[in-house]
Structure 1
Amino acid sequence: MAEALAGVRAEHRFDEAALLRWMENHVTGFDGPLAVEQFSGGQSNPTYRLRTTERDYVLRRKPPGILLKGAHAVDREYRVISALHATGFPVPRPFGLCLDESVIGTIFYVMEMVEGRNFWDTAFPEVSREERPAYFDAMNATIARLHAIDPSAIGLGDFGRPGNYFERQVGRWSRQYLEDADAGRVPAMDALIEWLPANIPPGDDVSIVHGDFRCDNMLFHPTEPRVIAVLDWELSTLGHPLADFAYHLMIYRMPPGFSTGLAGLDLPARNIPSEEHYIADYCRRTNRDGIERLDFHLAFSLFRLGAIIHGIKGRMIRGTASSPNAAAAVEQLERIAELALAQTRG
């Protein structure tokens, strides 16, 4: 269940002595020596485990190489987890942000290494049938709790531009897709770029959104069905909470083995809550009567995922992809785009 660790990949190596000096000067309580390993995940930002004799840390950095403007915003990650940690929301404790690229070659931040269970399969095959609903409930409660936090009250009132969220996001991801000529074009993505702007539903709620809320971006308590840390905040911003929830809800529309999807599985046999039940729980927790235009929210979320993977394809072609699993993700691009387009047909 834990994410694999290995030696630092050649393209992501850096001056470990320089990092040690920075840690000694900027991380309260730090005491070397320091050993560096790299996590196998991190499609976007290389992620490392920093081992010392007393405690371990995690380092997240921008990848080296030519990057798209606005991508790999580890400084934004650091800002949001710092604000959320102060509220008691389950995120790792932040220890320091380095904006000086001369230290290891890119900007980076250091946070607490949280010891917990990481699940890659949303069907939770590793836990008992009886416990499974509690894990879904923990995810549901955590995203609802995030959406209930007042951004202005925790210093994040300017963390994104409020208003016209879907218009801006469709434009952002469309531009990123269209500008990445290296990755080529996908007919279903082109069709979605036409459909989405013409079908934006009314309403403009604003909350902190995670942007990639999936079970593999969470750590659960070692023995309890409880989320103890939400990870990977690179895509977080101020946005529409239903966009965030619909992205999380995509698991019910994706087939097994397809980004850990649940579609087609016998959910009652596995004691997994239905999509309708899961939506109802979220709406109860967030005081909603329901979710209108779910077709749009799911189409947008899948389109956005397609644009993210399209970006991974471009980075893979340019040699800057952070994860050895990039090729497997890219293989799913056309299927994800087709699934997104299918949502528009009801």
Structure 2
Amino acid sequence: MSPVPPGLDPEKLRAHLDRVRPGLVSGPVDARLIEGGRSNLTYAVTDGTDSWVVRRPPLGHVLATAHDMKREFRVISALHPTSVPVPEPLLFCADESVLGAPFYVMEHVAGTPYRTAEQLAPLGPARTRAAILSLVDTLVDLHAVDPEAVGLGDFGRPEGFLDRQLRRWAKQLAASRGRALAGIDELQAALGRALPDSPEPTVIHGDFRLDNVLIGEGDRINAVLDWEMSTLGDPLTDLGLLVMYSARLEVTGSPISTTAGAAGHPEPAELVERYAARSGRDTGGLAWYTAFAWFKLAVILEGIHYRYTLGRTVGPGFDRIGTLVPVFIEHGLTTLQEG
């Protein structure tokens, strides 16, 4: 048996599952924390025969309601019958006496989350290309889902979505500014002046990239994971973020997962062309969305750097993050100017 992971008591989980889903579990439960999560915690759970995945909020994070977990459970429940590959949701629990917070259980899906070009290298150019193009096709499938038809018509507030997003990240920047950052105010102002008119809203993932999906046999996507930022909004924000993650940074020590240097990885322009051809959406104004993605990641990195300067980060590599922020700002400005 593995050591009891923080945030999940296997015996309490087993007792709850026996009450609400009798017969699901057939033996003692073993659980381990799956590393790599950014916000909510993910655990692999097994009874020695079958396996499941449990998601719960971070430790010490007090929710007034079960909104966050319930929201994730709701979106994968709505999408599971569609062509979008998501794990089958099994149960949601709002009773905080079980694990100390709301949580949900879903099926365990086999597959690999590729996070770096080095991890993709054994696949070779042809298989890498197929995997990345499959990522684009899955995004098209997600954006083709009719929110009303799957019960997600009230899943967000698409009116004024881009303006709220820009103001949200500007506020986040203001809360974590401990130094001068050349170009960041210019980038924020330029994005504000050039706010595009959004197309028809869709369900968006909010953090759609290769290491948030599981690639299985045949280099197909078995499951899209990490729906904590999903909402109804502008679908091109998902595409802009994917394009940003597909750019070559040409820097060392980046904490941002990038597979762009892998042999066979399609260029960003091809990803955009494929999305446009398959979705029928106009992607002519995508430069704004990609520049916004650079801005958003610059703000996130600056927040990490700010916490590092206050001594609030633990682990190696944080000392280099501050030097990366200007790189992201420059990419954002260049993208807007060239777009």
Same fold flag (TM > 0.5): yes
- Per-residue CA shift, 1:128-180, capped at 9, x if unaligned? 2232321122111100110111111100001101222211111222223334x
Q: Is the 8 A contact 2:247 2:268 kept in 1?
A: no
Indicate the SS of the match to 1:130: helix
Q: Look up the match of 1:133.
A: 129
Match of 1:296 among 269, 276, 288: 288
Task: Output the amino acid matched with 1:216.
Answer: D
TM-score between the two structures when normalised by the length of structure 1 = 0.83
- The question of 1:261 aligning with 2:255 is answered no
Q: CA deviation at 1:236?
A: 0.6
Identical columns (%)? 34
Q: Is the 8 A contact 1:122 1:251 kept in 2?
A: no
Q: Look up the match of 1:236.
A: 230
Aligned equivalents of 1:114, 1:48: Cα separation in 2:
13
Q: Look up the match of 1:151.
A: 147
- Per-residue CA shift, 1:55-113, capped at 9, x if unaligned? 11111111123579999933221111111012242001111122222322222211111
Aligned equivalents of 2:135, 2:110: Cα separation in 1:
18
Q: CA deviation at 1:116?
A: 1.3
Q: What residue ranges of structure 2 are gaps of 5+ in the alignment?
A: none
Alignment of 1:1-346 (within 5 A): 12-27=6-21, 29-65=24-60, 73-121=68-116, 124-179=120-175, 181=176, 184=178, 187=181, 188-221=183-216, 223-255=217-249, 258=254, 259-261=256-258, 265=261, 270-288=263-281, 290-310=282-302, 327=318, 330=321, 332-346=324-338
Task: Output the amino acid matched with 2:171.
Answer: R
Indicate the SS of the match to 1:129: helix
Task: Output the amino acid matched with 1:279.
Answer: V
Report the count of equivalent residues: 330
- Per-residue CA shift, 1:229-282, capped at 9, x if unaligned? 00001111111111111101112324256434366x5x8xx3332222221111
Indicate the SS of the match to 1:59: strand
Q: Which moved more, 1:28-37 or 1:184-193?
A: 184-193
TM-score between the two structures when normalised by the length of structure 2 = 0.84
Aligned equivalents of 1:137, 1:156: Cα separation in 2:
27
- Per-residue CA shift, 1:270-317, capped at 9, x if unaligned? 3332222221111010013x4223321111112223344455567778
CA change 1:68–1:335 in 2 (3 A) is farther
Task: Output the amino acid matched with 1:169.
Answer: Q
Aligned equivalents of 2:226, 2:316: Cα separation in 1:
17
Aligned equivalents of 1:80, 1:315: Cα separation in 2:
32
Q: What residue ranges of structure 1 are gaps of 5+ in the alignment?
A: 1-5
Greater relative CO (CA pairs within 8 A, separation 6+): 1
Task: Output the amino acid matched with 1:93.
Answer: E
Aligned equivalents of 2:64, 2:186: Cα separation in 1:
25
Q: Is the 8 A contact 1:209 1:238 kept in 2?
A: yes
Task: Output the amino acid matched with 2:258.
Answer: G
Q: CA deviation at 1:200?
A: 0.5
Q: What do you get for the CA RMSD once the two structures are aligned?
A: 3.3
